[in-house]
Amino acid sequence: MREATPAAYAALAGWGLICATGKTAATLHAALQANRSALAVAPRFSAPLFQTNIVGAAPREESDDPAWELAATALQEAVGGVARLLRTIPAARLGLVLSTTKANIEALERISAGRPCSASARHHLRAEALAADLAAEFGARGPVQNISNACVSGLVALVQGAKLIQRGTADAVLVVGVDHLSAFVVSGFSTLKAIDPRGCRPFDRHRCGLSPGEAGAAIVLLRPDLAPAGTVRISGWGASNDANHMTGPARDGAGLAQAIRLALTRAQLAPAQVDYINAHGTGTAYNDAMESAALRSIFGTEVPAMGGLKGMFGHTLGAAGVLETIACAMALQDQFLPGTPRLEQAETGFPSRLMKQPRPAPGLKHVLKLNTGFGGMNGALLLEQTGKVAPAASLPEATRCGRPASAF
């Protein structure tokens, strides 16, 4: 491998979000600590067009440009939290990478129905226009990219941001993921019968589909030498394609395993050094089984503590990778393992260290974040807590990271 050492990758200097848990990162943190699901009934998604009206809706006003509202809200919090640091970076050295699958698809619904739709809302139907306008609004005059890699978009956007820093093209990059709930998307998953009418139950024995969600989620990536000590960093990544099926994952998980292997190699880590895995965990029968198979092929019977968060805020598509990475960064920062909201009975044969409830995890250092997407795309991202962490070996067995006191 011809790449720089992990020390050269990007640091996660700050973040902001809006999702079903609320309008700030603090709401996500509280929901993670409480293992609270924020999935709820949204009457506008009633039958017959939709399979369910249980979704992960963010607290936002009705708008003709929800993509902008969500992304800008998240960026405002993220940028505001590190404003002093960002002031030291020239605007031309600040980049922006947008992750979205449908941008402002609300505009298409409105135009088709002859409903009012502003010029900017119409403009933001195009991801590149949304990215350019967000960059202008938040003073990013460096490189601007948009990524549309299905449900892996968020992880790919974070990797692109890290690469811009690694190549010396930018000192800081605003990575923002956004997708909003729409009749378009919820009806689409309904036509595929991919939604769990009761709300998703990732890794559960009775899981039968996903829950649509929406979010804006933003992370400020920073050149590592500019970041304060102890900042969570990206230490590795991997990407692959199944080359198997447009909507179904390869049953053996070989594609995802390939992405995990690449991430471990890049981070110069052995599988046994991974403390926690935050899975894609959509709650569909095939995805969760495929992820379990992929993890077994890498970790054997010693799969680390793992879980998934879509039972908390739903599947936020293009925002998922960024939003779930923020949750992982919070876990690393505050040394805890998130639970798996809405998981009741774990599927037989799935990894035994599936976390049902959150718990403290002193010593948590390496977290593996996974996402997969339509078309067979896979992504793996490794995060590292670079600050002082309690050495795992000196901790009591019951609290040692990766060895749960009880299975759930």
Q: What is the DSSP letter of 271?
A: G
Distances (CA, A) of 319 to 252, 355, 360, 393: 26, 23, 27, 36
Q: Determine whether 401 is an active site residue.
A: no
Q: Locate all alpha helices (DSSP H) within 53-152, ordered by sequence.
A: 66-81, 83-86, 106-113, 119-123, 127-137
Distances (CA, A) of 303 to 279, 295, 350, 396: 12, 7, 10, 20
Q: Does 191 bind another protein (CB under 8 A)?
A: yes
Among 199, 202, 281, 376, binds another protein (CB under 8 A): 376
Stretch binding another protein (CB under 8 A), from 121-129, 197-205, 293-301, 352-360: 121-129
Q: Does 208 bind another protein (CB under 8 A)?
A: no
Q: Determine whether 280 is an active site residue.
A: yes
CB of 339 to another protein, least distance (A): 30
Q: Does 280 bind another protein (CB under 8 A)?
A: no
Stretch binding another protein (CB under 8 A), from 36-44, 103-111, 296-304, 355-363: 103-111
CB neighbourhood size of 126 (10 A): 14
Which element (helix H / strand E) includes 97?
strand 94-99
Which element (helix H / strand E) includes 348?
none
**Burial group, residue 141, by CB count within 10 angstroms (0-12, 13-18, 19+):** middle
**Burial group, residue 133, by CB count within 10 angstroms (0-12, 13-18, 19+):** middle
Task: Give the per-residue contact string, 166-185, with another protein (x = CB under 8 A; - = no).
Answer: -x---------------xx-
Among 147, 175, 332, 343, binds another protein (CB under 8 A): 147
Q: Determine whether 315 is an active site residue.
A: yes
CB of 380 to another protein, least distance (A): 11
Residues present in the chain in total: 408
Q: Does 127 bind another protein (CB under 8 A)?
A: yes
Task: Give the per-residue contact string, 239-278, with another protein (x = CB under 8 A; - = no).
Answer: xxxxxxxxx-------x--x--------------------
* CA angle (15 as vertex; 11, 21 as ends), nearest 5: 140
The rounded distance, in Å, linking the Cα atoms of 39 and 405 is: 28
Among 110, 163, 356, 369, binds another protein (CB under 8 A): 163
CB of 192 to another protein, least distance (A): 5
Q: Which residues are catalytic?
A: 151, 280, 315
Where does this chain bind another protein (CB under 8 A)? 1-3, 49, 101-103, 105, 108-109, 111-112, 122, 125-129, 143, 145-150, 153, 156, 160, 163, 167, 183-184, 187-189, 191-192, 239-247, 255, 258, 373-377
